[in-house]
Chains A and B, each alone.
Chain A
């Protein structure tokens, strides 16, 4: 890592850290940074590509996150063998738009993968993501076999002290966490934090060792995503994570982008509550994440830009 990159990253992490209440005072001294880039941007009322373009513009442009010659990994949710209108997987149009942005910013390579739940080829195909991603110029990787995963230590983890993470992520310079907004039978909601379960190999451990804690623990991995980009163009209101039919979904035409994963999930649940009731307290991994200092649920303390197109 170049010194300049290091400083820049440190500054970015600093901004994220500043969001905590007790550091409110420090925030004012760094007002220039805060004004330049909001902590969170939510854009509503457009097509996925439009939503992304606007959100990234507000977040300081893709160039702020992807540098020339870098290798980028995009981690959407491709967990299920479902068509895009089920909202079981991330919107393929959004993924394609993000890939194009990264390549335009000079990314050397953009790769896309997920550790799927259903048969991976079917998921990649029926989600429309493989086709869209390859058309946009990305490489789509398999995540179906343990040989792709390498052990990573999670010293901050409470229950999950180490786990195997996909090597594409370990090797990448930058990665984007691009979940879809979904109801979820086990974790209650599947948004940005829950999307981490698709970068690890052994999910069974999560389920048998306090799922909500393990999800939060996995998010303590030191290599944080450059941005959490929550696809709420369509959301799955109920019967998640797979959904029974298209009638389980609602079209919200919204995108939430933030560096703060806890805040992003909190905001997404706020949005979700307009179409289906969900008490955030039930979504245990969010509070657990806040305890692990991964971010804040107190959105009012953040610099949030809400834009209606």
Chain B
């Protein structure tokens, strides 16, 4: 077998990217520095939502130059599918015939309809279709809700063993942030992607994935591409059998560039040097995938074999057009949900419920990295457009750390925008509401003050009540909605102090700094 340098480079890069992304998604202990999140910022959907023009330009140039190399090297879900196919021996030369790939026609209507639906909904601020189909977010959810718990329980096992040897380098963690909803959606995605890649390689990427479809529009014109040498190619189908995108048609000697993910698996299969990765335009005479005489008349020249033909284009457009009238209605319905009753508390840096909803694709990266595990994926309680997206939930001993800005530093989508510690300290994500009738000071005539104790900004203060007792009072303008008070309130089942979300985050009044009172210890006595 020939040494396939391009494939080796691809595998090394992909392996590295996959490992780092996977580790970052499972890093519950915040071991890896935040700049690892840059690997996620170059993901396509996050960069669209974050409005990172230069990354998008870069990715477009990459696709124009080398084809859909993104899908093979940058996309964690793509690499994940390659791993599944590889582990199940799909497309390997030595295997039985039935595990070989064969050329298959694209599902053109389906793929472009799905892309169009994602795009149109996104324009109207609804990320739900994109959230469900985006490979990056799906990979995140799989990693966070399925792989991370395994890592955490593994840590607990190691901790348990270490404790037996009096080693305290590890610590026990309890998993709070895997919900039925988040686990289900991740499991469905894992199952779907797993089965599709097991059966047909990159079928998901070339049928369902909107990123794959979008990049396919660019990669049709890729400058460097896989090309079959018409003279040398004997139509033996060896290359076709190795193609996990099922896009090489040896019979017609064509390659569907909208589906080729530039994995280079085909390059070393040919015994006649009949296939190569070449500069497409200057070598037309010798190498060409799409020669005039080979193309059936109904096919468009520029889109390659089985690209968008007129009929499928019309069908896709129609499908798209029919959905459009429903979208504003749906969007409106979402807005009409009574947000005073049902407003999730969005993390500091997310600006407003609207901003957050429109940008979050529920990759759950922040869910993993929140040191307090208070970012919990929602179900359908806050409408379809908030499904699976994280919100702040305060429970026993867990609230938003006063000085912590982790979620805002790692969010690749710009759904949670970067905050400095000083900005974070005055970002009011909600306001604590105190209900006297439930408070133990009122019901039991006892002192408590747990809420006031936990308030980092002295917005909850204990004020004179009866019999020398004090009772909480909330200074709303100072409250930042961190949930310290709610988390520690001993009243059950409903706490006596709860944070109500701000649909639009506000700036809290900073606690006043007082003059430092000089007390000279030499003037002091013991006092007892």
Q: Which of B118-154 contact A (CB under 8 A)?
A: none
Once the chains bind, are A185 and B452 in contact (CB under 8 Å)? yes
Interface segment among A21-29, A89-97, A247-255: the answer is: A247-255
- CB within 8 Å for A274 and B440 given contacts A81-B402, A145-B171: no
Once the chains bind, are A186 and B462 in contact (CB under 8 Å)? yes
Is A244 among interface residues, defined by CB-CB distance under 8 A?
yes
CB contact between B453 and one of A144, A184, A274 (< 8 Å): that residue: A184
- CB within 8 Å for A145 and B527 given contacts A119-B372, A184-B453, A247-B515: no
Interface segment among B103-111, B310-318, B443-451: the answer is: B443-451
Q: What per-residue 1/0 map shows which CB atoms of A263-297 lie under 8 Å from chain B?
A: 00011011111110000001010000000000000
A-B contact pairs, 22 of them (CB 8 A): A109-B166, A145-B172, A146-B174, A148-B172, A186-B449, A186-B450, A205-B490, A207-B448, A208-B448, A210-B444, A212-B446, A212-B447, A242-B456, A244-B511, A247-B517, A250-B519, A251-B519, A267-B526, A270-B528, A271-B524, A275-B524, A299-B528
Report how far A271 CA is from B525 CA in the complex, Å. 8
Nearest-neighbour CB distance to chain B for A91, whole angstroms, equals: 14
Contacts of B446 in A (CB 8 A): 209-212
Is B491 among interface residues, defined by CB-CB distance under 8 A?
yes
Is A301 among interface residues, defined by CB-CB distance under 8 A?
no
Q: Which of A136-178 contact B (CB under 8 A)?
A: 139-142, 144-148
Once the chains bind, are B453 and A141 in contact (CB under 8 Å)? no
Q: What per-residue 1/0 map shows which CB atoms of B510-522 lie under 8 Å from chain A?
A: 0101111101011
- CB within 8 Å for A306 and B526 given contacts A144-B171, A147-B172, A246-B516: yes
Is B334 among interface residues, defined by CB-CB distance under 8 A?
no
- CB within 8 Å for A247 and B444 given contacts A117-B453, A271-B526, A274-B527: no
Is A239 among interface residues, defined by CB-CB distance under 8 A?
yes
Given contacts A111-B168, A122-B404, 16 further A-B contacts (CB under 8 A): A42-B528, A119-B372, A119-B401, A122-B371, A144-B397, A184-B453, A185-B462, A186-B447, A203-B488, A207-B440, A207-B488, A237-B517, A246-B516, A251-B519, A271-B527, A271-B528
Q: What per-residue 1/0 map shows which CB atoms of A17-60 lie under 8 Å from chain B?
A: 00000000000000000000000001011000000000000000
Q: Which of B486-517 contact A (CB under 8 A)?
A: 488-492, 511, 513-517
Nearest-neighbour CB distance to chain A for B334, whole angstroms, equals: 34
CB contact between B371 and one of A45, A119, A239, A253 (< 8 Å): that residue: A119
Is B234 among interface residues, defined by CB-CB distance under 8 A?
no
Is B458 among interface residues, defined by CB-CB distance under 8 A?
yes
CB contact between A44 and one of B371, B372, B401, B526 (< 8 Å): that residue: B526
Is B454 among interface residues, defined by CB-CB distance under 8 A?
yes
Once the chains bind, are A139 and B168 in contact (CB under 8 Å)? yes
Once the chains bind, are B524 and A186 in contact (CB under 8 Å)? no
Nearest-neighbour CB distance to chain A for B135, whole angstroms, equals: 33
Report how far A206 CA is from B488 CA in the complex, Å. 11
Report how far A119 CA is from B172 CA in the complex, Å. 14
Once the chains bind, are B526 and A204 in contact (CB under 8 Å)? no
Once the chains bind, are B401 and A118 in contact (CB under 8 Å)? yes
Contacts of B33 in A (CB 8 A): none
Is B157 among interface residues, defined by CB-CB distance under 8 A?
no
- CB within 8 Å for A284 and B447 given contacts A119-B404, A244-B511, A245-B514: yes
Is A10 among interface residues, defined by CB-CB distance under 8 A?
no
Chain A binding surface SS class: mixed
Report how far A266 CA is from B526 CA in the complex, Å. 12
Once the chains bind, are A266 and B440 in contact (CB under 8 Å)? no
CB contact between B521 and one of A42, A45, A109, A185 (< 8 Å): that residue: A45
Nearest-neighbour CB distance to chain A for B112, whole angstroms, equals: 47
Is A121 among interface residues, defined by CB-CB distance under 8 A?
yes
Once the chains bind, are A266 and B528 in contact (CB under 8 Å)? yes
Nearest A residue to B492, CB-CB: A208
Once the chains bind, are B527 and A270 in contact (CB under 8 Å)? yes
For this complex, into which size category does the number of interface residues on chain B fall? 35 or more
Is B403 among interface residues, defined by CB-CB distance under 8 A?
yes
Is A187 among interface residues, defined by CB-CB distance under 8 A?
yes
Contacts of B461 in A (CB 8 A): 185
Count residues of chain A with CB under 8 A from any CB of chain B: 64
Once the chains bind, are B447 and A187 in contact (CB under 8 Å)? yes
Is B422 among interface residues, defined by CB-CB distance under 8 A?
no
Report how far A109 CA is from B167 CA in the complex, Å. 12
Report how far A282 CA is from B470 CA in the complex, Å. 11
Once the chains bind, are A207 and B450 in contact (CB under 8 Å)? yes
Is A241 among interface residues, defined by CB-CB distance under 8 A?
yes
- CB within 8 Å for A252 and B524 given contacts A122-B401, A187-B447, A212-B447: yes
Nearest A residue to B461, CB-CB: A185
Q: Which of B168-204 contact A (CB under 8 A)?
A: 168, 171-174
Nearest A residue to B170, CB-CB: A142
Once the chains bind, are B371 and A121 in contact (CB under 8 Å)? yes
Nearest-neighbour CB distance to chain A for B406, whole angstroms, equals: 11
Once the chains bind, are B490 and A242 in contact (CB under 8 Å)? no
Is B336 among interface residues, defined by CB-CB distance under 8 A?
no
Once the chains bind, are A252 and B447 in contact (CB under 8 Å)? no
Report how far A254 CA is from B488 CA in the complex, Å. 32
Contacts of A45 in B (CB 8 A): 521-522
Nearest-neighbour CB distance to chain A for B520, whole angstroms, equals: 9
Q: Which of B329-358 contact A (CB under 8 A)?
A: none
- CB within 8 Å for A186 and B527 given contacts A81-B403, A119-B404, A121-B371: no
Nearest-neighbour CB distance to chain A for B490, whole angstroms, equals: 4
CB contact between B440 and one of A188, A208, A242 (< 8 Å): that residue: A208
Report how far A117 CA is from B462 CA in the complex, Å. 19
Report how far A142 CA is from B29 CA in the complex, Å. 13
Is B468 among interface residues, defined by CB-CB distance under 8 A?
yes
Nearest A residue to B514, CB-CB: A247
- CB within 8 Å for A275 and B452 given contacts A145-B173, A239-B458: no
Nearest-neighbour CB distance to chain B for A265, whole angstroms, equals: 11
Once the chains bind, are A186 and B453 in contact (CB under 8 Å)? yes
Report how far A142 CA is from B401 CA in the complex, Å. 18
Contacts of A188 in B (CB 8 A): 447
Q: Which of B168, B447, B456, B525 has the most CB of A within 10 A?
A: B447
Contacts of A266 in B (CB 8 A): 528
Report how far A205 CA is from B79 CA in the complex, Å. 50
Report how far A160 CA is from B403 CA in the complex, Å. 34
Contacts of A42 in B (CB 8 A): 526, 528
Once the chains bind, are A275 and B519 in contact (CB under 8 Å)? yes
Report how far A248 CA is from B511 CA in the complex, Å. 12
Is B396 among interface residues, defined by CB-CB distance under 8 A?
yes
CB contact between B516 and one of A118, A211, A247, A306 (< 8 Å): that residue: A247
- CB within 8 Å for A274 and B525 given contacts A122-B403, A187-B449, A207-B450: yes
Nearest-neighbour CB distance to chain B for A26, whole angstroms, equals: 24
Q: Which of B174, B525, B528 has the most CB of A within 10 A?
A: B528
Report how far A194 CA is from B290 CA in the complex, Å. 81
Once the chains bind, are A141 and B521 in contact (CB under 8 Å)? no
Nearest B residue to A126, CB-CB: B403
Nearest-neighbour CB distance to chain B for A301, whole angstroms, equals: 13
- CB within 8 Å for A117 and B516 given contacts A186-B462, A270-B527, A272-B527: no
Contacts of A275 in B (CB 8 A): 519, 524
Contacts of B396 in A (CB 8 A): 204
Once the chains bind, are B174 and A145 in contact (CB under 8 Å)? yes
Q: What per-residue 1/0 map shows which CB atoms of A197-231 lie under 8 Å from chain B?
A: 00000011111111110000000000000000000
